[in-house]
Structure 1
């Protein structure tokens, strides 16, 4: 266990359950142990456990298999045959980028919905933030603040406040906002 200023950091812990008591939250840790806190930030995001389906023949495949999070550049794939699987925005953006230097097939189950990563020479997330299009709600929270449980906030949710909320481009902005609102709420108690 390590302490940074007033934060206690525990690694290798898995939270099995969170229960709201009158004045705090009780957290039960897998393998035993309990914690108590006035607030909980659920920051697990959606990329902590990337899913790679069991594909027939994958064990015998001699080529390279990457998740979107592992992709960095089209350079190593120049002149090669590449199949990008999936119709999510990351998969489509990667396929478009690869197509400039490789022979690319995009394999999907559904029609492609695509938002170009760069518009007018600027990153998409800049435009969505500046134009106000980067705002969306969710019935269980409002901009990361739980609507029914005082002291519970979220960071890294898909469309928490907008398109980039669960990406590295946008999660910091959301985390800053949620942290400020949570701190203000705790100071009032």
Structure 2
């Protein structure tokens, strides 16, 4: 089966849906190719207690406000429901159950072949598959000798799964701290990081930080782009997480120097028995289907400038971290990037 469109989007999560909205507004016939059973991205696979750090009024895609109290911090399942409703309102073809296997480019257009042996063709292609499929797993000294479990944060769901264990959570960002604090209710938890955890107030001067991000321009291009790769990203906190870490639940320590059997060795020479290590070490772009057209670097990252490919006319990317701004890979920011990318790809046909 071969089907042709004006534009194809690989990935039906928040980035792909926002792209579809803006491409349709420009009159293009659009299709989304999505591996899952419904177009809600990776949200159903995140840990059960995940809550956004941005209030609902700052967490919408273009054209549909997030429902409910605008000052609430939406839960994972509320985001899934919102994305489901957003997809239903789009006037585009959404092909679920089609995982993109590889992409060909013949000079005039792109041909996306899926694992279901379907082929979709278009002169424009947006890669919007996010990062969840490619967790970053740094090599740990001694991990080949470690007898416990070594997991990524993408594998974490519930604290009860680790009841009675000694768990080390590796990382210093929002997810690492959120998981470690929750896990400390059911397990003995150490939060290990190469740099100390830094906290920033969630509501400075009684306003959510995203109010200030919007007011100052930090959350959008081009001002926010100047802050790319800050020395250490802070953990946004109402005071709960700082209090938990200060109380030793979890216990924060500098990164261990090695793993040995069922033991972690610390910089001061002390040793701790450990059952599980959870790596909250982030993700990298998930773009294996583009590996055959020389669009990626040797380490699999897209070769682009602010979302537009520098290797292939008509190819774009959405949802990349720091693509155009601080908020590029978030619900609150991807709509702005999608509008910019849709404009630039649409202009190719003029």
TM-score by length of 1: 0.64
The aligned residue for residue 208 of structure 2 is 122
The number of aligned residues is 172
Are residues 1:43 and 2:124 paired? Answer: no
Are residues 1:167 and 2:330 paired? Answer: yes
Matches within 5 A, 1:3-152: 7-48=92-133, 67=153, 85-91=169-175, 94=178, 98=181, 105-108=190-193, 110-112=194-196, 114=198, 116=200, 118=202, 120=204, 121-123=207-209, 127=213, 128-129=218-219, 132-135=222-225, 140-152=303-315
CA shift for structure 1 position 43:
0.2
The runs of 5 or more residues in structure 1 that have no matched partner are 59-64, 72-81
The aligned residue for residue 342 of structure 2 is 179
Q: Which residue of 305, 316, 321 corresponds with 1:153?
A: 316
TM-score by length of 2: 0.38
| Cα separation, partners in 2 of 1:174 and 1:130, compared to 1, 3 Å | closer
Q: Which has the higher helix share?
A: 2
| Cα separation, partners in 2 of 1:25 and 1:131, compared to 1, 3 Å | closer
Instruction: Write the distance in 2 (CA, Å) between the matches of 1:153 and 1:51.
Output: 23
Whether the 8 Å contact between 1:143 and 1:160 is mirrored in structure 2 is: yes
Highest RCO, 1 vs 2 (Cα 8 Å, sep ≥ 6) = 2
The aligned residue for residue 75 of structure 1 is none
Whether the 8 Å contact between 1:125 and 1:163 is mirrored in structure 2 is: no
The runs of 5 or more residues in structure 2 that have no matched partner are 1-30, 33-87, 158-165, 229-300
Whether the 8 Å contact between 1:158 and 1:166 is mirrored in structure 2 is: yes
Per-residue CA deviation, residues 71-123 of structure 1 (Å, 9 max, x unaligned), is 9xxxxxxxxxx967232532356379x59xx7974223x22464736363332
